[in-house]
Each structure stands twice: as structure tokens, then as C-alpha cells.
Amino acid sequence: MTVLTLAKALNEGLRAAMDADPKVLIMGEDVGKLGGVFRVTDGLQKDFGEDRVIDTPLAESGIIGTAIGLAIRGYRPVCEIQFDGFVFPAADQIITQLAKMPLRSLGKLKLPVVVRIPCGGGIGAVEHHSESPEAYFTHTAGLRVVACSNPVDAYTMIQDAVRSDDPIVFFEPKRRYWDKADVELGAPGLPLGKAKVVRTGNDVTLLAYGPMVKTCLESAAAAEDDGRSVEVIDLRSLSPLDMGVITESVNRTGRCVVVHEAPVFTGLGGELAARISEACFFRLESPVLRVGGFSTPYPPSRLEDHYLPDLDRVLDAVDRVLAY
């Protein structure tokens, strides 16, 4: 076991993926000497060379577009988008090309491209550096979308993502990059598409992913002090959803709250609530509630504590589902 931060766990995972397959490439702005602005690719260019760890020109559409070309040629590019708010220049290549080209080839073409995106707020950043754009991508058929929440998962999920033959958008919770945990290097993890119960409970199910998993675990611990038994599920995969684990839990607890940083309106929570109400209708004791960002652009940092779901807002929702 080694104690690693989430950023370092990703770094070790990428290193293992590059060791395992010479076709794996890393591409992005400042991923070389600097090792990425969050140091996720630290040292990789030194060890694998400039041909495999590529500092690209400053153009996101170019990063994804050329990654697609490299993938057609048999490479497995892992692209870094520096911050969530800067993925949009690449939206065309991701949505119209990356997501759809395999289908156009009737399956002859595989595009094993990973698009890594640090996401979410809570670091006091300026505009465009704190967003949660996952719903744009879960709404795009042809992409798998995953989010890691902790170092252990980060280490294995990134390797699984690189191995997958599908294009994957891989969200990394930037405010948790410095969180530490014991990671067993070389060990496999839970498969990529699986959700995980990270805390068991009987009264309410909290569904979260990425940065909000920790918030929900803290909320569950606080709720326990008030005699409430709260289960927390880390979705890990946002598209597809692991509905088996979710419905098993909600059928047991009868109550569910979905928590994400992204705006509630037409966010992933809406999809989850609808699916749960279909699958668990006769067991539900209350409507599924959602806690998330407001339907406003991400605010200036002095307001972000209001915007971001926190322990109090999660507990408030727990109270409200229990009040039914």
C-alpha cells in the first residue's frame, strides 16, 4: 500500500497504462515539463519522451481532432482539457465526431480516446475554472462518461478508461486532487461501469459522484449523530448508469437524494429521479429530491460557498425526504 493523493494516483495509473501499452499517448496543454497545471502528468514526459507525452498547441478542438486521427491510426490518446470551462472549443470534435464515428463505420472503427477533465468548484478560482459540464456529455450518445471521487478509484478507473475501446469523458474532482488514501499499486479495482455503495444505511440513499461523494459521506456521518442511517452511493459511471445498485438501495431505503455540483435544472439528477420513480415507484416513501448548483453561471468565488451543495444543504434535503 502507498499513500497517494488523487492527482498522484491518476499519475500512477497513467504511468501503468503507458507501461502496459506503447500505443498510449498523453496530449494536452502544459502536460509535458510542467506536468499539467495540477501535476497529474508530472514526470511522464521525462520518462516516456516527447513523442508520447505531447505538449500541444493551445487549441482544444485541435487536441481532440488530432487524437481522433491518432486513434484511427491505432493509438490510444489520453487528452487533458486544462479546465472544465475550456472543453467547449472541442465540443464539435467530441460531439459530432468522437461520439459518432464508430457507429458510422458500423463498428469497424474504434476510437479509444480518453478526455480527462478536471471539474467542479471549491478552489476559489476565476470564471470558467469551476464548472460541472457532465450533462452535456451524458446527453451525447456514443460517449461513456465517468467520474472518480477518491485516489483508489482514480488509480484503477483511469487505467480501465485507457483500456476501453470506447471514447470516454473522464471527470476528475479538482478540489479533491490533494485528498490522500492508501492505494495498492498493481491491483485491479471495481469495473469502470459499476456504482459502489461507499457507506451503508437504511433510512435514505444519497447518490453522488466526483467531488460530492466526500460531501455526502460527511453528511451521512453527521446524520448518524442525529440517529439517521444514511446510505451513500458513488455512481462512478454517469453514462451508462449502474441502475442495479441504485434501485437495490432505494428499494430498501424508500428515500433518495441526488447531489451534484452541476445545476439541478436538466442535470443528471433529473434523469436519476425519473428512473428511480419508474423502477422503485411502489417502494418510494417520498419524491426523489435533488441538491445541486443553481441555474446560474458559476458565480464569482466569493459566492461559491452559496452555490455549492454543502453538508447543511444535503442534510436539509435528508430532513425533507424523511418528513414525508
Partner 1 sequence: MTASTTGLTAPPELVQLLTPEGERIEHPDYKIDLTAEEVKALYRDLVLVRRIDLEAVALQRQGELGLWASLLGQEAAQVGSGRALTDVDMAFPTYREHGVAWCRGVDPINLLGLFRGVNHGGWDPAEHNFHLYSIVIGTQTLHAVGYAMGIQRDGAEAATIVYFGDGATSQGDVNEAFIWASVFNAPVVFFCQNNQWAISEPLEKQSRIPLYKRASGFGFPGVRVDGNDVFACLAVTRKALADARAGQGPTMVEAFTYRMGAHTTSDDPTRYRVADELEAWKLKDPIERVKAYLFRGELADQEFFDKVEAEADALGKELRRSCLALPDPAPEALFDHVYAEPHALMADEREQYLSYLAGFER
Is 303 a binding residue for partner 1 by CB under 8 A? The answer is yes
Concerning whether 306 is annotated as a catalytic residue, the answer is no
Which of ligand TPP, partner 1, none binds 297 (CB below 5-8 Å, type-dependent)? partner 1
Residue nearest to ligand TPP (CB): 86
* Residue carrying the nine cell digits 495540477: 38
- Interface residues for partner 1 in 23-62 (CB under 8 A)? 29-30, 32-35, 37, 55-59, 61-62
| Of the candidate residues 23, 52, 89, 275, the single one contacting partner 1 (CB under 8 A) | 89
CB of 32 to partner 1, least distance (A): 7
3: β partners:
182
Please give the grid coordinates belonging to residue 194: 459499476
Q: Which stretch binds partner 1 (CB under 8 A): 6-14, 112-120, 123-131, 234-242?
A: 123-131
Q: How far is the CB of 129 from partner 1 (least distance, A)?
A: 8
Residues in contact with 281: Cβ distance below 8 Å, sequence separation at least 6, in sequence order: none
C-beta of 89 vs 287, nearer to partner 1: 89
Phi, psi of 118 (to 5 degrees): -65, 130
When computed from its CA atoms, the radius of gyration of the chain, rounded to whole angstroms, is 19
Give 262: exposed, middle or buried? Use CB within 10 Å, 0-12, 13-18, 19+: buried
d(CA 146, CA 161): 9
Residue carrying C-alpha cell 472549443: 89
Residues forming contacts to ligand TPP in the complex (CB under 6 A) are 29, 58, 60, 82, 86, 89
CA 288 centroid distance within chain: 22
Q: Are 180 and 5 in contact (CB under 8 A)?
A: yes
Task: Compare residues 21 and 127 and give the one whose CB is closer to partner 1.
Answer: 127
In angstroms, what is the minimal distance from the CB of 118 to partner 1? 13
**Whether 198 contacts 233, CB under 8 Å:** yes
**Closer of 86 and 136 to partner 1 (Cβ):** 86
Please choose which of partner 1, ligand TPP, none residue 55 contacts, taking the beta carbon within 5 to 8 angstroms, the exact cut-off set by kind: partner 1
Residue 52: how many other CB atoms lie within 10 Å = 17
Interior CA angle at 294 toward 288 and 300, to 5°? 150
Q: Of the candidates 148, 153, 150, which has an alpha carbon nearest to the alpha carbon of residue 117?
A: 148
- Chain residues 198-257 in contact with partner 1, contact rule CB under 8 A: none
Q: Is 306 in the site for partner 1 (CB under 8 A)?
A: yes
Catalytic residues: 129
- The residue ranges that bind partner 1 (CB under 8 A) are 29-30, 32-35, 37, 55-59, 61-62, 85-86, 88-89, 124-128, 265, 294-297, 299-304, 306-307, 312-313, 316
